[in-house]
C-alpha cells in the first residue's frame, strides 16, 4: 500500500502493521528497506541547508537550493559526493569537496588514479581538499560555514553530506531479528526468522554490506529462486562476487575491479599515456589478474573483470595486458 509505511512486524502472528493500523498477513516476508545517508554526528548537522544525497527527494531539494545560493560544500569524495558536486557546479554554484582520505574514490581507485581524477575535476572548476575532515557545521538557524580539522573556516550556503550509507535495519531490530551493521542473512538471504528474508542495502552477508545496485540484482535473482524452490534438491545460494565498478564522473570514464593496492603476494603493472590522459594499473598474483584500475578509457573493463573472476593464467600475454583483449588474444 503506497504511502502507508510498515511500522511493526508481528512475528508471532506473521503480520505486518502499517502506520494507518492496517494488518497484512504473510507466509514469507521480504525486507528490502534500503539505506539512508550516514550521519556524521557533527555539531550543526541539523541546521537548515544541510542535506543528504541518496534519493530523488534529496536531488529535488538540492536543485531548489541551487537556484537561490552560490556556495556549496560537499562532504565525501566517493561516487555520490562527486556526482552531487559536479551537478551543483553545472548549476552555477562554487563547490568545494572535502574528503578525509588522501585521494578521491579511495575504494575504487589507487593513489595515482585518484590524483588524476582530482586534477581533471579541478580543471573543470571544483575545489578538492583531500586528507581533510569537518569538525562542525556553523550557523544559527541555517548553515553558514564549515569548520575543518586544520581550523580553517569555509563559508557556505549549502552542505551536502555524502559520506557513506546507513542500512535501514530499525524495523528488523524492533522485531528482534539478528542485526549487526545491517540485517544478518545467510546464503539464501534468510534472516534469523526462517520466514523472513532481506536483500539489498539493508542486509549483511557474513561481514559484507552492499551499497551498489548490482549485488541487489544478484540477490533478488537468488531469492526468487529460493522462494520458488521445490522441497527436494539443493537450495540456490548467494555468493558475493568480485563486482566491477564502472563509473563516469563529469564525463571521465573510470573502471575498477578487484584489488587496487599491492601487498607482499602481489605486484603492479602500470601503463600511462600522459598526452591522452589514460592510465591502467593491474595487480597480479601468481600469474593471474587480481585487480584492475582504468582511467580515461574503460571499454576493455568487462574483459579484465572476466579474467579476475575466472582467475585465468595471464603469463602468455602479460606484456600486452594494457592493450586489451585483441592484443592479448594474439599473444595467447
Average pLDDT over residues 180-184: 97
Please state the rounded mean pLDDT for residues 187-192.
97
State whether 81 and 99 are in the same domain: yes
pLDDT above 70 as % of the chain: 98
Residues 56 and 160 in one domain: yes
pLDDT surpassing 90 at residue 147: yes
Whether residue 158 sits in one domain with residue 120: yes
Q: Residue 230: its pLDDT value, please? A: 66
If asked whether residues 150 and 186 sit together in one domain, one would say no
How would residue 243 be classed by pLDDT, with cut points 50, 70 and 90?
A: confident
Average the pLDDT over 228-246 and give the result. Answer: 83
Are 294 and 254 within 8 A, CB to CB? yes
pLDDT at 331 > cutoff 70: no
Residue 38 lies in a domain: no
Rounded CA separation 191/195 (Å):
8
* Residue 237 covered by a domain: no
* pLDDT band at 240; cut points 50, 70, 90: confident
User: Please, which residues bridge with residue 99 across strands?
Assistant: 130
Residue 238 in domain: no
Of the candidates 250, 252, 254, 321, the one whose C-alpha atom is nearest the C-alpha of residue 284 is 321
Domain match, 62 and 160 both: yes
List the domain range (segments joined by +) for residue 24.
Answer: 6-31+168-227
Helices (H) and strands (E) in the chain, counts: 7, 23
Does 176 map to a domain?
Answer: yes
Domain boundary among 165, 181, 205: 165
- 88 with 150, same domain: the answer is yes
The residue from 227, 254, 270 where one domain ends is: 227
Q: What is the CATH number of the domain that holds 130?
A: 3.50.50.60
pLDDT at 323 exceeding the cut of 70: yes
Segment 241-253 mean pLDDT: 84
Instruction: Place 332 in a pLDDT band, splitting at 50, 70 and 90.
Output: low
Whether 158 and 183 map to the same domain: the answer is no
Reported as a single tens digit per residue, the pLDDT across 56-114 is 899 999 999 999 999 999 999 998 899 999 999 999 999 999 999 999 999 889 999 99
pLDDT bin (cut points 50, 70, 90) of residue 330 is low
Residues 259 and 220 in one domain: no
The pLDDT value given to residue 44:
95
Residue 295's Cβ-count burial label (10 Å; 0-12, 13-18, 19+) is buried
Of 122, 139, 165, the residue that ends a domain is: 165
Kindly report, residue by residue over 250-271, the tens digit of the pLDDT: 789 999 999 988 898 999 999 9
- What mean pLDDT comes out for the span 33-38? 91
Mean pLDDT of 136-140: 96
Position 189 scores a pLDDT of: 97
All residues at 6 or more sequence positions from 10 whose CB lies less than 8 Å from its CB, including other chains = 16, 17, 23
Give residue 1's pLDDT. Answer: 67
Task: Look up the CATH number of the domain holding residue 294.
Answer: 3.30.390.30
* Chain position carrying cell 552492499: 210
Residue 91: predicted pLDDT? 94
| pLDDT surpasses 70 at 24 | yes
Task: Determine contact, residues 146/153, Cβ cutoff 8 Å.
Answer: yes
* 72 within 8 A of 157, measured Cβ to Cβ: yes
Per-residue pLDDT, 63:
94
Looking at the fold, whether 142 and 184 belong to one and the same domain comes out as: no
The structural domain count of the chain equals: 3
Residues 158 and 185 in one domain: no
Domain shared by 172 and 155, yes or no? no
The 10s digit of each residue's pLDDT in 281-306 is 999 999 999 999 999 999 999 999 99
Q: How many CB atoms lie within 10 A of CB 4?
A: 12
In a domain, 43, yes or no: no
Average pLDDT over the chain, rounded to an integer: 93
User: Is residue 37 one of the residues assigned to a domain?
Assistant: no
pLDDT greater at residue 240 or residue 194: 194
What value does the mean pLDDT take over residues 240-253? 84
Residues of the chain above pLDDT 90, percent: 77
Say whether pLDDT at 9 is over 80: yes
**Positions of E strands within 56-175:** 71-75, 94-99, 127-130, 134-138, 145-148, 153-155, 158-161, 165-167
Q: Is residue 101 part of a domain?
A: yes
On the question of pLDDT at 231 being above 80, the answer is: no
Are 66 and 160 members of one domain?
yes
Identify whether 239 is part of a domain. no
* Distance between CA atoms of residues 133 and 144, nearest Å: 17
Amino acid at each position: 500500500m503506497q504511502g502507508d509505511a510498515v511500522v511493526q512486524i508481528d512475528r508471532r502472528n506473521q503480520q505486518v502493521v502499517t502506520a494507518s493500523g492496517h494488518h497484512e498477513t504473510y507466509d514469507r516476508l521480504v525486507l528490502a528497506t534500503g539505506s539512508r545517508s550516514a550521519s556524521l554526528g557533527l555539531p550543526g548537522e541539523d541546521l537548515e541547508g544541510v542535506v543528504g544525497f541518496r534519493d530523488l527527494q534529496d536531488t529535488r531539494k538540492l536543485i531548489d537550493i541551487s537556484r537561490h545560493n552560490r556556495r556549496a560544500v560537499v562532504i565525501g569524495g566517493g561516487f555520490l559526493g562527486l556526482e552531487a558536486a559536479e551537478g551543483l557546479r553545472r548549476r552555477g554554484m562554487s563547490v568545494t569537496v572535502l574528503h578525509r582520505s588522501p585521494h578521491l574514490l579511495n575504494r575504487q581507485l589507487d593513489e595515482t588514479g585518484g590524483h588524476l581524477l582530482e586534477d581533471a575535476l579541478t580543471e573543470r572548476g571544483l575545489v578538492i581538499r583531500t586528507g581533510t575532515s569537518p569538525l562542525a557545521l556553523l550557523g544559527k538557524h541555517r548553515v553558514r560555514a564549515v569548520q575543518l580539522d586544520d581550523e580553517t573556516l569555509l563559508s557556505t550556503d549549502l552542505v551536502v553530506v555524502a559520506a557513506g550509507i546507513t542500512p535501514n535495519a530499525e524495523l528488523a531490530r524492533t522485531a528482534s531479528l539478528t542485526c549487526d551493521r545491517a540485517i544478518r542473512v545467510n546464503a539464501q538471504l534468510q534472516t534469523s526468522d526462517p520466514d523472513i528474508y532481506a536483500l539489498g542495502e539493508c542486509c549483511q552477508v557474513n561481514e559484507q554490506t552492499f551499497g551498489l545496485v548490482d549485488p541487489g540484482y544478484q540477490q533478488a535473482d537468488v531469492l526468487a529462486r529460493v522462494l520458488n524452490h521445490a522441497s527436494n534438491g539443493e537450495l540456490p545460494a548467494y555468493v558475493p562476487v568480485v563486482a566491477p565498478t564502472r563509473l563516469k564522473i563529469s564525463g571521465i570514464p573510470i573502471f575498477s575491479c578487484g584489488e587496487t593496492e599491492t601487498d607482499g603476494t602481489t605486484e603492479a603493472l602500470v601503463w600511462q599515456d600522459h598526452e591522452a590522459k589514460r592510465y591502467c594499473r593491474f595487480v597480479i598474483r601468481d600469474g593471474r589478474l587480481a585487480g584492475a584500475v582504468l582511467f580515461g578509457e574503460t571499454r576493455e573493463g568487462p574483459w579484465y573483470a572476466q579474467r579476475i573472476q575466472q582467475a585465468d593464467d595471464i603469463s602468455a600475454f602479460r606484456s600486452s595486458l594494457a592493450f586489451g583483449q585483441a592484443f592479448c588474444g594474439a599473444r595467447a
